[in-house]
Structure 1
Amino acid sequence: MIEELRRFIRHPSSVPIQVKLGEQHQQRSLKDVSKGGLCFSSPKPMPSGSLVEVNILACKPGFKAKGIVCWCKTEGNEYLVGISFQNKAITYALRMVEQICYIEDYRKRISAKTGRQLTSDEAALEWIQKYAADFPALNE
Structure 2
Amino acid sequence: MRRFVRHPTDIPIAVTVTAASSGCSMTSVSQGGLSCEVATQVAVGSMVNVAIPSVSPPYYGNAEVMWCRQCGEHFEIGLQFTDQEEAFKARMVQQVCQIEHYKNMVFEREGRWMDGDEAAAEWIQKYAADFSQH
Shared fold (TM-score, shorter chain, > 0.5): yes
When the two structures are superposed, what TM-score results if normalisation uses the length of structure 2? 0.83
Aligned residues: 133
Deviations 1:16-61 (A, max 9, x none): 1121111101122322222121121111011111110111113322
Counterpart CA distance in 2 for 1:134 and 1:20 is 31
- 5+ residue gaps, structure 1, are none
Q: 2:59 aligns with which of 35, 60, 63?
A: 63
Q: What one-letter code is carried by the residue in structure 2 that aligns with 1:11? A: R
Identity across matched positions, percent: 34
- Compared with structure 1, are the counterparts of its residues 124 and 69 closer, same or farther at alpha carbon in structure 2 (3 Å cutoff)? same
Q: Report runs of 4+ in structure 1 exceeding 6 Å deviation.
A: none
1:13 corresponds in structure 2 to 8
Matched, 1:108 2:104: yes
Does the 8 Å CA contact 2:7/2:94 hold for their aligned counterparts?
A: no
- 5+ residue gaps, structure 2, are none
| RMSD over aligned Cα atoms | 2.3
- Compared with structure 1, are the counterparts of its residues 12 and 18 closer, same or farther at alpha carbon in structure 2 (3 Å cutoff)? closer
When the two structures are superposed, what TM-score results if normalisation uses the length of structure 1? 0.80
Counterpart CA distance in 2 for 1:134 and 1:32 is 15
Does the 8 Å CA contact 2:42/2:68 hold for their aligned counterparts?
A: yes
